[in-house]
């Protein structure tokens, strides 16, 4: 299975498996089912309960058309690169340059889908995904995004940050950690978890480079004897200082 290594803005490198065509198709069908179900429910309300009057047409127009049109755009934006269909298939939109996708990035993907998927019956999208090295649609190439698989066993959520041992009267060692975002901490947590799962030379070098890069950005010296312990301390400090 094809993969891609993405280095985040905090010099954390994450290896992703590229989403396969089957995952993308099933995700699309699940989202289409959700849109269709929503539309049928409100058509029923409009034409049966409201009696098919002019009011029912306005009701249907206001609730069905915007939902169907902007579903993908707002779902990806508010669900961190996923729609319910993508989430069910464990795939997500990420930026190739390691940055967090902006609304404009999602907007580009959304706007071009009408040409690639709907107007061409999916032919253009299928050709692009099948022939490009990173399995990108034209929209992905323009926006600088790629669709990747998310391994649930290695995924980290915000709740996981709150489960990092008992805090007690813990005093943070690195108050400057608050310059980072929760998303940054999740990536660091995922990196540390991968290090302890795959303790090889490549991961040791990655941990060392990441720890040094973060220490340099914070303007501090690493107190811990090992870089992975430094990163674990940072995560604990962040939880204490931001919760």
- Using CA atoms, how far residue 105 sits from 102, 116, 222, in Å, is 5, 16, 36
**Over the stretch 2-16, which tens digit does the pLDDT of each residue have?**
778 777 665 556 778
DSSP β-bridge partners for residue 3: 17
**Over the stretch 155-198, which tens digit does the pLDDT of each residue have?**
445 455 555 544 556 788 888 888 888 778 888 888 888 777 76
Q: In what order do the strands lie in the sheet with 3-7?
A: 3-7, 13-18, 145-149, 91-95
- The span from the CA of 225 to the CA of 211, in Å, is 12
Closest CA to 109 of 139, 133, 130: 139
Q: Which two tokens stand for residue 182?
A: 């929760």
Residues of the chain falling short of pLDDT 50: 152-156, 158, 165-166
Proportion of the chain above pLDDT 90, given as a percent: 36
CB contact at 8 A, 31 and 84: yes
Q: Which residues, 6 or more positions from 217, have their beta carbon under 8 angstroms from its beta carbon?
A: 10, 179
Tell if the pTM clears 0.85, that is, is over it.
no
Q: How many helices (H) and strands (E) does the chain have?
A: 10, 4
Q: Is 122 left (phi over 0), alpha (psi -120 to 50) or beta?
A: left
- The span from the CA of 84 to the CA of 209, in Å, is 36
């Amino acid at each position: 299975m094809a993969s891609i290594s993405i280095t985040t803005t905090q010099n954390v490198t994450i290896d992703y498996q590229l989403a396969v065509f089957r995952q993308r198709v099933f995700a699309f069908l699940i989202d289409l089912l959700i849109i269709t179900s929503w539309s049928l429910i409100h058509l029923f309300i409009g034409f049966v309960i409201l009696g098919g009057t002019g009011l029912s047409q306005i009701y249907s127009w206001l609730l069905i058309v915007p939902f169907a049109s902007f579903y993908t755009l707002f779902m990806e934006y508010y669900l961190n690169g996923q729609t319910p269909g993508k989430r069910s298939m464990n795939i997500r939109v990420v930026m190739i340059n390691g940055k967090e996708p902006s609304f404009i990035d999602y907007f580009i993907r959304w706007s071009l889908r009408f040409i690639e998927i709907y107007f061409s019956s999916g032919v253009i999208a299928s050709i692009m995904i099948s022939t490009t090295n990173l399995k990108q649609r034209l929209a992905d190439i323009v926006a600088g995004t790629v669709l990747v698989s998310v391994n649930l066993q290695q995924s980290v959520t915000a709740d996981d940050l709150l489960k990092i041992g008992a805090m007690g009267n813990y005093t943070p060692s690195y108050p400057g950690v608050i310059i980072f975002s929760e998303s940054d901490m999740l990536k660091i947590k995922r990196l540390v978890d991968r290090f302890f799962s795959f303790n090889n030379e490549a991961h040791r070098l990655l941990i060392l480079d990441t720890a040094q890069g973060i220490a340099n950005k914070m303007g501090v010296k690493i107190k811990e004897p090992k870089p992975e312990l430094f990163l674990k301390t940072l995560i604990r400090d962040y939880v204490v200082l931001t919760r």
